[in-house]
Structure 1
Amino acid sequence: MPTASFADSLPFILRWEGGYVNHPADPGGATNRGVTQKVYDAWRQKQGQSAQDVRQLSDAEMRSIYETNYWRPARCDTLERKLDVAHFDTAVNMGVGRAVRFLQAALGCQVDGAFGDGTLRAVQQCNDLAKTLVNYCNEREAFYDRLVVTNPKLAVFRKGWNNRLNALRKEVGLPGYEADVPTDYGDADHIARVPDIGEDPIYDF
């Protein structure tokens, strides 16, 4: 059964995922409500079902994919409220491995992309949630900046990425971000997904 925290966090993610898109510059390819065709094919295969167009993604499938592919693997259930939605949103947009790296950097523990005992201890010993949230969001922003420098063609997504990140900062209550952030994808028609560590070497930095 999905946890209450998962149910409470999902609406923020869906706000920024939009509907069906297939932007030529987006490395994720065809995507519906944030679920790429590749992810959908793999999920259906695990269920013993045949592949079908991601445009046919049902609400139940979408919720199950978000929980089993992102919420649980990123260990969002171990995090305090607010940090869990920041981590969940990052896992969806940038992959579980990269989200864990940002979390580790924000907590000041070993950065290896694997949520092991050391990371769990750092989470449990965290006594400054606000500072951790600031650090986490700053790590994510810095990565977007490096990504555009490395891959200039992705600049079309930069405004949307930053709008989503600033909306996340408002969602978790960071000072200076109290104003409403409209759902604005910037210069594209959606927020591009960044391939996770190992999915595409171009993005492994």
Structure 2
Amino acid sequence: MGLNLDSYDAVTAMIDDLIGREGGYSNHPADRGGATRWGVTEQQARAYGYTGDMRAYPRSLAVAVYQRAYWLEPGIAKVALRYPAIAIEMFDIAVNMGVSVACTFLQRCLNVMNQNGAHYADLTVDARLGPITMLALDAYRQRRGAEGGERLLEAIRSLKGARYIEISEARPANEAFTYGWFGRMVEMAKKAFAR
């Protein structure tokens, strides 16, 4: 957990890793996201002003969208100041499943690790990383330290894996992606272990 994500270069490297997992252009018929390039959906690209063909979507614009929409705006960068490895996992979840899912996973895990409110009050699971969530994360970190970060990370990863299964069970067309989603988890765990 000794990563340092407070520099532009470190965040860019994290985004480069993500783009490597996401790949180039895709328009898989089973993917509800439709046309994507560098992992950015056409809808997201349009929301940030891109009007061209997704096959030509510039990588530099994808990097900017990731920095703004998935790192800075939701507050995942603030998590990185406390537990960088958790922030990397949340960033990946935000891109792959949605920002609200990533934030909800953190809040749910903090709630079940607070010893029935003895360490800090239960959070309202509102899918936002506001000041109360950050205070709870600070209280958790102060009490649990680095070891607590490892356990919190595993709890979040567990929810991520369970969600992949739930998504595929609810919509069989998603089985086209399930094996790859778990490959993504394995790859990320290997990289985290190597750090």
Structure-1-length-normalised TM-score: 0.76
Please identify, of 156-165 and 116-125, the stretch whose mean Cα deviation from structure 2 is larger. Answer: 116-125
Question: Is the contact made by 1:137 and 1:169 (CA closer than 8 Å) also made in structure 2?
Answer: no
1:129 is aligned to 149
2:117 is aligned to none
* Cα shift readout 1:47-105 (whole Å, capped 9, x = no counterpart): xxxx1112222232111111111111231211222111111111111111111011112
Q: Distance in 2 between matches of 1:154 and 1:16?
A: 18
Instruction: State the one-letter code of the partner of 2:156.
Output: Y
Please identify, of 23-32 and 81-90, the stretch whose mean Cα deviation from structure 2 is larger. Answer: 81-90
2:4 is aligned to none
Question: Is the contact made by 2:34 and 2:41 (CA closer than 8 Å) also made in structure 1?
Answer: yes
SS in 1 for 2:84: coil
Q: Which runs of 5+ in 1 are unaligned?
A: 46-50, 179-205
1:42 is aligned to 47
Query: Deviation at 1:111?
Result: 2.1
1:171 is aligned to 191
Q: Which one of 97, 100, 104 corresponds to residue 101 of structure 1?
A: 104
SS in 2 for 1:44: coil
Q: Distance in 1 between matches of 2:132 and 2:8?
A: 24
Q: Distance in 2 between matches of 1:59 and 1:164?
A: 20
**Residues 44-63 of structure 1 correspond to what in structure 2 (within 5 A)?**
44=49, 51-63=51-63
Query: Deviation at 1:157?
Result: 0.6
2:115 is aligned to none
Q: Which runs of 5+ in 2 are unaligned?
A: 1-6, 112-122
Query: Deviation at 1:146?
Result: 1.0
1:65 is aligned to 65
Question: Is the contact made by 2:33 and 2:41 (CA closer than 8 Å) also made in structure 1?
Answer: yes
Q: Which one of 121, 125, 131 corresponds to residue 117 of structure 1?
A: 131
Question: Is the contact made by 1:86 and 1:172 (CA closer than 8 Å) also made in structure 2?
Answer: no
1:76 is aligned to 76
Question: Is the contact made by 1:71 and 1:77 (CA closer than 8 Å) also made in structure 2?
Answer: yes
Instruction: State the one-letter code of the partner of 2:38.
Output: R
Q: Distance in 1 between matches of 2:22 and 2:16?
A: 10
Query: Deviation at 1:116?
Result: 1.7
The answer to which structure has the higher helix fraction is 2
- Could you say which structure has the greater relative contact order, defined with CA pairs below 8 angstroms and 6 or more residues apart? 1
Query: Deviation at 1:171?
Result: 2.5
Please identify, of 63-72 and 101-110, the stretch whose mean Cα deviation from structure 2 is larger. Answer: 101-110
1:143 is aligned to 163
Q: Distance in 2 between matches of 1:75 and 1:5?
A: 17
Query: Deviation at 1:158?
Result: 0.4
The percent identity for this pair of structures is 29
1:8 is aligned to 13
Q: Distance in 1 between matches of 2:192 and 2:135?
A: 22
Structure-2-length-normalised TM-score: 0.80
Question: Is the contact made by 1:76 and 1:84 (CA closer than 8 Å) also made in structure 2?
Answer: yes
Please identify, of 69-78 and 90-99, the stretch whose mean Cα deviation from structure 2 is larger. Answer: 69-78
